[in-house]
Amino acid sequence: MSSIVPGPKKKLEEEITAARAGAKPLDPSTLNPSAPRPEQLTGLDDWPDSLRTAVEAEHARLTALETNRRKTADRAVPPLVDALDTLLTDITTALGKPSLFTKPAPTPADPGIANFLGIPTEALDVRGSRGDHRTALRTLKQLRTQLKDQATTPDHDRLTRLATFTIRLAVALEAAPNSITTLAPLALTRYTQALPDPQWNKTFPQKLATWKQALTS
């Protein structure tokens, strides 16, 4: 007694039909054998939803770029931009509005988080002013404008720098919320001055490891 084994094309058609019926999700690598199977990030269950969403969106974009799937990477930009915009909103809210009548009270900065943000120790000795606070808020607004531009005309190298900076600042906010009013203006100034940042040249797994460490230390 013989049995008929469906060929690859027939099997693919059956899997697509099953996926449309909701019986079984279709793995993207089934349609494109050269596409890598999606890698699940681990250790993010306890992270805030907004931060986890941004990290996962950035991972999806970078994975597509690393496997020469430019169109897929471009399609990953809008959800990443939305996620980063949410993080910038959270950071802006945490900074609050500068007072017109009182000087901001100095907030002791966490030296470990300062180092995580690439801020040298000597910079922590300078007390911030209301002007610094206002400048930080303006810079955050400018970053959100830059993000909107990226959504329509993505520059992936520039977006990587912007995503790395935004996610790291959001991690700092989560790890040391009482230090953010001191550290955020310093970090934003360094970013606008395009000062060297070693994280820009690190791989995504290396960045993720430092983000996880900052949240657990």
Q: Is-contact 33 67, C-beta < 8 A?
A: no
The pTM of the full predicted model, rounded to 2 decimals, is 0.79
Looking at beta carbons, which pairs linking 42-49 to residues 24 or more positions away fall under 8 Å? 43/212, 47/174, 47/215, 48/174
Q: What is the rounded distance in angstroms from the CA atom of residue 26 to the CA atom of residue 70?
A: 21
Q: What is the rounded distance in angstroms from the CA atom of residue 5 to the CA atom of residue 86?
A: 50
Looking at beta carbons, which pairs linking 209-212 to residues 24 or more positions away fall under 8 Å? 210/116, 211/55, 211/167, 211/168, 211/171, 212/43
More confident residue, 147 or 38: 147
What mean pLDDT comes out for the span 140-158? 94
**pLDDT tens by residue, 6-21:** 555 555 556 545 544 5
**pLDDT tens by residue, 34-63:** 555 556 788 899 999 999 999 999 999 999
pLDDT at 31 over 80: no
More confident residue, 200 or 102: 200
What mean pLDDT comes out for the span 76-83? 96
Task: Write down the mean pLDDT value for the chain.
Answer: 83
